[in-house]
Amino acid sequence: EDQVTQSPEALRLQEGESSSLNCSYTVSGLRGLFWYRQDPGKGPEFLFTLYSAGEEKEKERLKATLTKKESFLHITAPKPEDSATYLCAVQAGSSASKIIFGSGTRLSIRP
């Protein structure tokens, strides 16, 4: 069964304290892995798409990496405005429409 697991469930950091969020997946035929940011009461905001192991993408203080089993979202010197829930999702299998979301990591940055 295709699965996406995110850890930790919640993470509290001090402003400027770098860390990483993990997304582990077991799917048949990965087509793409996505990272989204979601603020309370709002829809997810697209951050990155990764397609193959070894791929990396960066945006401001965020950097996403991908291996054959997991993806990391590294956050460098975070600011309070980076506080949000970060969602990982995978698109897999023969159906181009099937997408599976992880449960998310609630990130809180203290000033």
Partner 1 sequence: GAVVSQHPSWVICKSGTSVKIECRSLDFQATTMFWYRQFPKQSLMLMATSNEGSKATYEQGVEKDKFLINHASLTLSTLTVTSAHPEDSSFYICSAGTGYHANTEAFFGQGTRLTVV
Question: Residues in the site for partner 1, rule: CB under 8 A?
Answer: 31-32, 34, 36, 41-46, 49, 87, 89, 91, 96-104, 106
| Minimum CB distance to partner 1, residue 21 (Å) | 14
Residue placing its CB nearer to partner 1 in the complex, 35 or 75: 35
| Minimum CB distance to partner 1, residue 46 (Å) | 6
| Minimum CB distance to partner 1, residue 16 (Å) | 27
Residue placing its CB nearer to partner 1 in the complex, 1 or 111: 1
Read off the amino acid at residue 50: L
Residue placing its CB nearer to partner 1 in the complex, 41 or 54: 41
Q: Write the CB contacts of 19 (distance below 8 Å, at least 6 apart in sequence).
A: 11, 13, 74, 75, 78
| Minimum CB distance to partner 1, residue 45 (Å) | 7
Residue placing its CB nearer to partner 1 in the complex, 34 or 75: 34
SS (H, E, C) the chain: CCEEEEECCEEEEECCCCEEEEEEEECCCEEEEEEEEECCCCCCEEEEEECCCCCEEEECCEEEEECCCEEEEEECCCCHHHCEEEEEEEEECCCCCCEEECCCEEEEEEC
